[in-house]
Amino acid sequence: MNKNTFVINHPLLKHKLGYLRDRTTYSHEFRELVKEVSKILVYEAMKDWVHLEEVQIETPITSAKAERIVNPPVVVSIMRAGNGMLDAALSMLPFASTGFIGIYRDKFIHNTVEYYFKMPHDVKGKEILLCDPLIATADTILAAIDRLKAYGVGRIKVISILVSASGLEKIYHYHPDVELYTINVENEMNEMGYLVPGLGDAGDRLFQTR
């Protein structure tokens, strides 16, 4: 396992992953589970944050010093499935700005197609939390990382619920500096490019589409 891959091994996450995998889990339950898991992944990704400032506050009892996060990361969603993680990330980081990348892998041209790209004006040099719940072939995430680096962003941390072993290998071949936080690495993909056992198409299950 690459040193920049962080697999969060916790009984609560294993419990929630079982329901995410279950085809009988309703869409609204699936959305809530994605949010709950995403909050934990964001928490883990922020554990080494060093940009803090000390401020003076008044507690109900006395004066005290407190620490506040400064120069927060930009939370970036790879649409559309990444939007299922976005509210959870922003609930943990309500002071963070947000970016969106609309990109998909076209099965006919065997390449990625970008249809939307919108970033905050001050994204240059900022740390990125890049949200995509499933990484299979890794083509989409690689294209998103390429675009972000072209904008001169800082450190990129990928937040993903499941990622394929081959996808990880591809990510670190092209971008060895990227960090990735997940709850499980899947060793198989089927002929359709779905993770096995996986949890199906995250976007369809989040938004009840096909």
Torsion sign over Cα 20, 23, 28, 31: positive
Is residue 110 pLDDT above 70, yes or no? no
Q: Tens digits of per-residue pLDDT, 36-81? A: 999 999 999 999 999 999 999 999 999 999 999 999 999 999 998 9
Count of domains for the chain: 1
Question: Which residues share a beta bridge with 130?
Answer: 76, 158
Residue 206 has pLDDT above 90, yes or no: no
Burial class (CB in 10 A: 0-12, 13-18, 19+), 45: buried
Predicted pLDDT at 2: 83
Quote the pLDDT of residue 204. 81
Return the HEC string of 50-91. Answer: CCEEEEEEECCCCEEEEEEECCCCEEEEEECCCHHHHHHHHH
| 98-106 and 74-79 strand pairing | parallel
Q: What angle do CA 24, 161, 184 make, to 5 degrees?
A: 95
pLDDT in the model for residue 4: 94
Mean of per-residue pLDDT scores for the chain: 93
pLDDT at 7 over 90: yes
Domain that holds residue 118: 5-207
Quickly state the pLDDT bin for 193 (edges 50, 70, 90). Answer: confident
pLDDT at 109 over 70: no
| Single-letter code of the amino acid located at 94 | P
Residue 183 sits in a domain whose CATH number is 3.40.50.2020
Q: What average pLDDT does this structure show over 85-102?
A: 95
Q: What is the pLDDT of residues 126-165, one digit of tens each?
A: 999 999 999 999 999 999 999 999 999 999 999 999 999 9
What residues does 112 pair with on adjacent strands? 105
